[in-house]
Amino acid sequence: MTTTLGKSCLAAVGAVLILVHGWDVPLSATVDYGRTPVLLVHGHGMSSGTWRPMIRYLVSLGYPIEYLHAVDIMPNTMANVEAATKVLEPAATLLLERAKAAARNAGYQGGVSQRVDIVAHSMGAVSSRWYAAKLHPELVRTWISIAGSNHGTDVLCGYHDEAAREMCPAFAADSTTNPVQVSLNGTAAAPLDETPYGLGADRDVVAPVPPDEARRILYFTIRLESDEWIKPERSAILDGAGGAAVRVSSVLPAVETRPGNFLLRAPMRHDPLLEHPDLMRLVASLLAGSH
């Protein structure tokens, strides 16, 4: 039984359109203020507008619109650590404050999440993982990478902005020229915990950074079989992902090839991927994982 004062208080608002950040967003018939706010991080050369379909979909599932925030990293080729500190850090703080205010104004009397979920695309996976691993692991519940350049990508070797240089080459081993990659992943000779404070099991050769009472992150990655921007495609895979049960529909073209690492086998491309219904369903399933 659900009551207006219960843990999963659902406030009826009707199916209407509201204008949010200049976007028409259809509200769900019910809004669940017991959900975790979601921070959406775009990739290299892109903008918050890439998340429009995802926001519409999550709102249709009951997310309060105030619980969803797509950042704009400006310039959109900003170096990854700078993006984490100058853009993501204040954005996450503001999102939590906005969610708390929205729940209070709606009369919700349950507990409001003190952590965010992060969904990141392409190079946004790098700046957001820096935020989760290095800056505020205590504020992150679930982290999802979509076609992420988690170990760099050789495709960006032809680009000259700082963010692109940080990603070239994939699986970099030089901490002088590629400090971001090496700080997050280590090297083949000296691997680091790629998912610090994560719930999944790391390889035996890695010294794990285990979760504790304050810092517990559920990491997931989603990748394509053939990705024109992430080369090699295995760059998207993270050791130590997963670690909690999630329900993924068997009708989705998604295979968990390693714990917490999902391969999408449908014919999709890197940028339009965010508009694909199967991708949105998979993300929603991973966000719903309990831990």
Other beta carbons within 10 angstroms of residue 255's beta carbon come to 12
From its phi and psi, is residue 113 left (phi > 0), alpha (psi between -120 and 50) or beta?
A: beta
**Residue 1: what pLDDT?**
31
User: How far apart are the C-alpha atoms of 104 and 119, rounded to whole Å?
Assistant: 25
Name the helix (H) or strand (E) containing 99: helix 89-105
DSSP letter for 150, please. Answer: B
**Pairing between strand 68-70 and 116-121?**
unpaired
Q: Are strands 30-32 and 10-12 parallel, antiparallel or unpaired?
A: antiparallel
User: Would you state the pLDDT for residue 204?
Assistant: 94
| pLDDT for position 7 | 32
Residue 11 has what pLDDT? 35
What per-residue confidence (pLDDT) applies to 3? 30
pLDDT at 246: 92
Q: Domain boundaries in the chain?
A: 34-287
How far apart, in Å, are the Cα atoms of 101 and each of 61, 94, 96?
A: 21, 11, 9
Q: What are phi and psi of 154, to 5 degrees?
A: -70, -20
Pairwise CA distance, residues 179 & 166, whole Å: 8
pLDDT at 27: 52
Which positions of the chain have pLDDT values less than 50? 1-25, 28
Give me the architecture of the 34-287 domain, per CATH: 3-Layer(aba) Sandwich (3.40)
* Tokens read off for 67: 């619980």
- List residues bridging with 261 in a β-sheet: 221, 258
pLDDT of residue 72: 98
Q: Given the DSSP bridges, would you call strands 140-146 and 218-224 parallel, antiparallel or unpaired?
A: parallel
- Nearest CA to 273 among 242, 230, 216? 230
**Are 4 and 107 a contacting pair, CB within 8 Å?**
yes
